[in-house]
Copies of this chain bind each other. A is one copy, B any other.
Amino acid sequence: MNEQMMQSIPLSTRIRLARNLKEYPFPAKLSAEEKQLVNETVRDALLDGDDAGNYRYIEMKDLSSTEAVSLAEKHLISPEFASSADGRALILSNDETVSIMLCEEDHVRIQVIEPGLSLDKAWEKANALDEKLAARLTVAFDEKLGYLTQCPTNLGTALRASVMLHLPALSRAGLMPRLSSTIAKLGLTLRGTYGEGSKIVGELYQLSNQVTLGISEQAAIQNLAAIARQIMEQETAARETLRTDNVFIDRIYRANGILQSAYMLTCSECTDLLSLVRLGAALGILDVPLDTLTKLLTAIQPATLSVQEGRVLPAAQRDVLRAQKVKEALQNA
């Protein structure tokens, strides 16, 4: 199996731990003032001495909705968290690999993102923050149930681990529905992402664990890693069959040509074209760094574009700016 091709498939790894403080009701039952108290208590526990300079503490009410949506586009917060600022705060590391949502569904949601398939590293970072939290505050925990969370589906480890996978060859072969249903039987989910509404764009899929009860964190993570690797092997094999398909090679070349020439690009079309070019780069058909393409997949998102530009852009202007940014990035690459 072509290891280099394998490693081009995972874009990023996320670990999320849900935690609640024992002495407070869940956020849904808290007033705005009580939420603020919880947020600041957690902030003071986590951001002491050494760490203080590496993180920002952000009250969500201080962000414009565009800024909040941009954070969701980067997967630093949940879309739900972006949708309302009410009593919510965010601890964000300067390198944007660690984001801690305060008073979302639970008091604390520690999230770590790492590039590629990097479950162990992400887990270590999340676990270190969790240990610091537990050392300073009393976390709601039950000997039988494990960590207590607002939603019963998170009870136990309260761990959600996920890997974002680029699966264009399996998608094109029409294999995703069957694969998703097989994965579901193994207690994981595999679903399309970056979609507007229910449309899967960019052939990007998120593989995540579902079971949090009766399984250790390590076992859940190992399980996820093993299944991610199996999917990556299947995708790699499916990609090999595309190498000799001239119609497909033509589509990849054209996608690259359109990205380098279009005057306007919608987010959805741009994502689909980037997906094709990323596949072409992974196959060695095009000479474009994978990293440039992976970054563009986030940078071209609507709110992120507006934040970069420093003002809220109407859709038509955004489409023109998106085309410019993509052109520049590809020409500089």
Shortest Cβ distance from residue A2 to the other chain B in the assembled complex, whole angstroms:
23
Shortest Cβ distance from residue A267 to the other chain B in the assembled complex, whole angstroms:
15
A256: chain B residues within 8 A (beta carbon): 261
Whose C-beta in chain B lies nearest to the C-beta of A257?
A: B261
Flag A312-330 by CB within 8 Å of B: 1 or 0 each: 0000100010010000000
Alpha-carbon distance A257/B253, docked complex (angstroms):
10
Which label, helix, strand, loop or mixed, suits the secondary structure of the A interface?
helix
Alpha-carbon distance A332/B249, docked complex (angstroms):
24
Identical copies of this chain, number:
2
Alpha-carbon distance A261/B277, docked complex (angstroms):
12
Alpha-carbon distance A257/B262, docked complex (angstroms):
7
A247: chain B residues within 8 A (beta carbon): 264
Alpha-carbon distance A253/B263, docked complex (angstroms):
6
CB of B250 within 8 A of CB of A262, answer yes
Q: A97 on the interface (CB 8 Å rule)?
A: no
Residue in B246, B263, B264 whose CB lies within 8 Å of A264: B246
Alpha-carbon distance A246/B316, docked complex (angstroms):
9
Alpha-carbon distance A250/B316, docked complex (angstroms):
12
A253: chain B residues within 8 A (beta carbon): 261-263
Flag A292-331 by CB within 8 Å of B: 1 or 0 each: 0000000000000000000000001000100100000000
- Besides A246-B263, A250-B264, 11 more A-B contacts (Cβ < 8 Å) are A246-B316, A250-B263, A252-B263, A253-B261, A253-B262, A254-B258, A254-B262, A254-B263, A256-B261, A257-B257, A260-B261
